Amino acid sequence: MNAGAPTRDVFHAISDPTRRKLIRLLADADELPLNRLAAHFPIGRTAVAKHLAVLKEAGLVTERKVGRETRNRLNPTPLREIRDWLSFYERFWTTNLQKLDYLLREESE
């Protein structure tokens, strides 16, 4: 397997509300160190670091060293998999709701 390839499922990575909030925080910022991210949660830095590790394993977060500090950055590319999966269901429901609307209008006339 490629050393840079994700080792964890993106769907699993976003399944936790804490990880979704981390994604949102990183999306709103260019990059953030662990201590700045942890300040947004009622859990300890170690727990936040474990959530970040899951996001990194899924390829959603990258990191870079700046001196002694490690800064985290969102990599939104893996989120395309989720967008593509959801777009199928969006088309499915849009089409079926349009058909239902047509039938209800036809019945009421």
What percent of the chain is modeled with pLDDT above 90? Answer: 69
Query: Does residue 1 have a pLDDT over 50?
Result: no
Coil vs helix vs strand at 70: strand
Packing angle of the helix pair 17-28, 45-57 (nearest 10 deg): 80
Instruction: Tell me what the mean pLDDT of segment 77-103 comes to.
Output: 89
pLDDT, residue 5, reads: 59
Task: Name the domain count of the chain.
Answer: 2
Domain boundaries, position 84: 78-109
Global pTM value: 0.77
Average pLDDT, the chain: 91
Let me know whether 73 and 86 are in one domain.
Answer: no
pLDDT tens digits for range 45-83? 999 999 999 999 999 999 999 999 999 999 999 999 898
Cα distance between residue 17 and residue 67, in whole Å: 31
Cα distance between residue 101 and residue 109, in whole Å: 12
Cα distance between residue 79 and residue 101, in whole Å: 32
Let me know whether 48 and 65 are in one domain.
Answer: yes
Residue 48: which residues within 8 A CB-CB, separation 6 or more? 18, 22, 34, 37, 38, 41
Query: Does residue 4 have a pLDDT over 60?
Result: no
Let me know whether 69 and 47 are in one domain.
Answer: yes
Let me know whether 62 and 85 are in one domain.
Answer: no
